[in-house]
Amino acid sequence: MSTSSVAGLSSGVPFIGPYAVSKVGVVSLSETLRDELQAEGSAVRVSVLCPGSVTTNVMEAERNRPAALGSESRTPVAEQVRLMIRDGLSGPDGKSPEQVAAIVLEGSAAIGSGS
């Protein structure tokens, strides 16, 4: 089970290019691994979790930024993007980490049973 993001399923997401590229990479690597394992006749299955909005404190991560790097400068556009992400994480579509864990367990059980 790999964890990516819905940003890994689309292209051209404004202002989060490096993040989106890393998530596309996770999806691509997982799909390649799946194809290689299938070609070898392996019973190992590969899945990618793209959970969308998960209500976490990720937007508070600046507190973990090394002091040597200084404070993150926020341009007006960067601040707008930060607020958009924050609002998306806390919005009605945001899932709790516990809900995401339940989805993972349900999916893993279905794969294990051959569903």
Look at residue 80 and tell me if it is in a domain.
no
Look at residue 19 and tell me if it is in a domain.
yes
Look at residue 46 and tell me if it is in a domain.
yes
Q: Rounded CA gap, 34 and 51, in Å?
A: 19
Helix (H) or strand (E) holding 49, with range, is strand 48-49
Look at residue 77 and tell me if it is in a domain.
no
Look at residue 103 and tell me if it is in a domain.
no
Residue 2 β-bridge partners: 48
Q: Rounded CA gap, 56 and 89, in Å?
A: 7
Q: Cα–Cα distances in Å, from 27 out to 4, 47, 63, 90?
A: 7, 9, 29, 25
Return per-residue pLDDT of the chain as tens, 115 residues: 899 988 888 877 777 888 889 999 999 999 999 999 999 999 999 999 998 888 877 767 777 777 777 666 677 877 777 777 777 666 677 788 999 999 999 988 887 776 6
Query: Distance from CA of residue 4 to its chain's centroid?
Result: 4
Hey, how many other C-beta atoms are within 10 angstroms of the C-beta on 30? 19
Count of structural domains within the chain? 1
Supply the range of the domain harboring residue 12. Answer: 1-52
